[in-house]
Amino acid sequence: METDVVIIGAGSAGLSAAKELAKHDVSFAVLEASHRIGGRAYSESIGPDAWFDLGCAYLVIGPDVDTHIDETNPFVDFAKGRGEVMEKYTHPARYHHNRHTLNGSELAAVEQYHQDCDDIIRQSVERGEDVPISDLIDLDNRFFAPYNDMMAVTHPKDVDEGSALDFHNRVEEHINYNLQRGYGNLVGAWGRDVDVSLNTKVERIEWSAHGVSVITPKGTVKAKRLISTVSNGVLASGHIEFSPRLPDWKLDAIHGIPMGAENKIGVHFTSDVFAPEDTGYFQAWSDDEPGAYIDVNLVSTNVVTVFIGGRFSQWMEKQGQPAAREFALDRIAAIFGNDIRKSAGRSIGTAWYTDPWTLGSYSSAAPGQYHQREWMPKPIDDTLFFAGESTARMHGMCHGAYWSGKRAAHEVIAAEQ
């Protein structure tokens, strides 16, 4: 098979690249190793009329939508056009330590610690540093545990493995929406009109300034150019062989922005056990057990999502689904009491760090490596182009990946001229 462009990966980056090329009459072939499209946007049924997003779940709109096109989220308007049920996320943080709800001065102390951490990270960045977050913050503070639990999900690494500069320069969330029927389902519906070759694992890419040959078990695809939306986890693993090998500067970028581990355990409750005031964001931890970041009953689905990250998340993947469910129920019961276990229905636990098509949840620069964000999206010899969340200003975001795909498509179009 021969075409103008080969696109590897059918997540939001690969799909948006394909749609953009189609607008400009550039032929393409999209190759996807998985059995489905969507990448890390993926919804599964967890109960009657209840969906669980295994990957991205928040439709995020950044604070600078008027000046940064990559902070607008096209999936918001797509959802509205389909009449999807959407809910704005407006819930305050609530904290439970040793099954005790923090109020008053304790709650103020948690919030002050978070502010102090943000301030000292900002001061480090202003000094021109790129150091581990753990070098800066007070690790002995009594509220370090929930802070690390939160960072391991939102960064997503333990604080000794994460770049303070990378964390500081993330695009801060501004407005979030949740979908009743799932973000993954929405992306799947949006990408349904793109012709994708599923179950097509790329094994080898032979490339030169004259074109590419992409070798798969189903045959070889030849093209003038290639857009890779493959995760940094897969690129770093060497599971796709490049011949010749990628240049050192690109390999440095890939290894400098490794994948982190964030996983979720979703539990569906078979009866309406949550009062309206129970909906929203919680953190629960104890002195002798790991804690978690928890979303309760968003969009009135009777689903609770328990988030874990960093090394603990990697460890939990290896323990399997029963252990993940028990951990989630323990954390939920720490907030709502043990009787809630009686209504627990189906559960789903994710395992992104060992998923062979991602080998991680999303990218996060290592300390001292934030500068690789500049190099990650750069093309090679007008032949190999790169998209995906690791190349996006809005890294870690589904719509950041979307904009990166459009950007890569326009780079290919410019190279054609």
pLDDT digits (tens, 9 = 90+) for 291-320: 999 999 999 999 999 999 999 999 999 999
Residue 68, judged by CB atoms within 10 A of its CB (0-12, 13-18, 19+), counts as middle
Q: How far is the C-alpha of 260 from the C-alpha of 257, rounded, in Å?
A: 9
Q: What is the mean pLDDT of the segment spanning 327-332?
A: 97
The pLDDT of 1-20, averaged and rounded, is 97
CA gap 208, 78 in Å, rounded = 39
| Banded model confidence at residue 170, pLDDT cuts 50, 70, 90 | confident
3-class secondary-structure state, position 350: coil
d(CA 373, CA 158): 20
Contact 406, 181 (CB under 8 A): no
Burial state string for 177-202 with b = 16 or more CB within 10 A and e = fewer than 16:
bbbbbbbbbbbbebbeebebbeebbb
**pLDDT confidence bin for 135, thresholds 50/70/90:** very high
Q: How many residues appear in the chain?
A: 417
Block residue for tokens 């333990």: 158
Average pLDDT for 352-370: 97
- pLDDT grade, residue 417 (50/70/90)? confident
Q: Read off the tokens for 214.
A: 């992409």
Share of the chain above pLDDT 90, in %: 92
* pLDDT recorded at residue 66: 73
With a cut of 90, say whether residue 1 has pLDDT above it: no
Could you give the CA distance from residue 389 to residue 37 in angstroms, rounded to a whole number? 16
Q: How many Å apart are CA 247 and CA 317, to the nearest integer?
A: 33
pTM, 2 dp: 0.96
Residue 64: pLDDT over 80: no
- What pLDDT score does 69 carry? 75
Q: How does pLDDT run across 212-245, given as a tens digit for each residue? A: 999 999 999 999 999 999 999 999 999 999 999 9
User: Hey, what are 133's tokens?
Assistant: 């977050």
In this predicted structure, the answer to whether residue 281 has a pLDDT above a threshold of 80 is yes
Q: For residue 63, what pLDDT is reported? A: 74
Contacts of 291 (CB under 8 A, 6+ apart): 145, 146, 149, 283, 284, 285, 331
CB-based contacts of 400, cutoff 8 Å, min separation 6: 70, 171, 389, 392, 393, 394
Average pLDDT over residues 202-211: 96
Looking at residue 131, what is its pLDDT?
Answer: 98
25-51 residue pLDDT tens: 999 999 999 999 999 999 999 999 999
Preceding amide of 74 cis, omega within 30? no
Model confidence pLDDT, tens digit, residues 66-90: 777 778 999 999 999 999 999 999 9
Confidence of residue 153 (pLDDT cuts 50, 70, 90): very high
Measured from the Cβ of residue 65, the count of other Cβ atoms closer than 10 Å reads: 14
Which burial class, exposed, middle or buried, applies to 126 when counting CB atoms under 10 A from its CB (0-12, 13-18, 19+)?
exposed
Average pLDDT over residues 250-272: 97
Question: What percent of the chain is modeled with pLDDT above 70?
Answer: 99
At 279 the pLDDT is: 95
Q: What is the mean pLDDT of residues 352-361?
A: 97
The pLDDT score that the predictor gives to residue 70 is 77
Q: What was the pLDDT predicted at 175?
A: 87
> Whose CA is closest to 31, among 227, 217, 201, 274?
201
**pLDDT category of residue 62 using cuts at 50, 70 and 90:** confident
Among the residue ranges 282-286, 356-360, 413-417, the one predicted with the least confidence is 413-417
